[in-house]
Amino acid sequence: MEYINDADFEARRWREASLIYNSALKEIGTKLEILNDEFQHVHRYNPIEHIKSRIKTSESIAKKLKKYGCEPTIENMMKYVNDIAGIRIICSFTTDIYRLAEMLERQSDIFVISVKDYIKSPKPSGYKSYHMLVSIPIFLSERRVDTKVEIQIRTVAMDFWASLEHKINYKFETNVPEHIKEELYACARMVSELDAKMLSLNEEVHSLLA
């Protein structure tokens, strides 16, 4: 990290910060596995298709802090960058998204800082996902660190669309041609229709087998 003055000291602090954020991802991941296992035990159904997690790179963090007009320090990183630790939960159906969000909110050691529901209110591009910014306590040997984690919950179809949009924006450096934006938006509408039809079909199957 070229912006660090005392390289040894800051490298040690960066390693500790990485440890804390990785631990937060493990904590959330374990909670999700338990919830998924319990759901399988009680309902014989897994709401979670798969889980992705990542820690933002130091370069991405520095770039974001620069955008915010902040010095790229460890203190500013932990204070102002909310998505250093990110976890993405992929579900089969939209109902699973809200069910999982409610289950996480009920966890006594998870504090929900904010929620952005891009499913009920999609972004202008057509992007749909359910975002939660939460804080979870990480207990080190001598202190407790309340650590922020961004959780994104979406269906398989929403994730496929979002992945394609991200790749397109990356290739064009956000200057995406208008006709491609229009095609992407049309695809987002098809994704919404597909999710609705798949949910309806699933509910019909369950009603017939009940």
Positions marked active-site: 150
DSSP state of 6: S
Cβ neighbourhood burial of 8 (10 Å; 0-12, 13-18, 19+): exposed
First-to-last CA distance in the chain? 58
129 vs 90: CA distance, rounded Å: 10
125 vs 137: CA distance, rounded Å: 35
User: How many residues are listed for the chain in this entry?
Assistant: 210
Strand order in the sheet with 48-55: 48-55, 85-91, 144-155, 130-139, 111-117
- Phi, psi (5° rounding) for residue 207? -70, -35
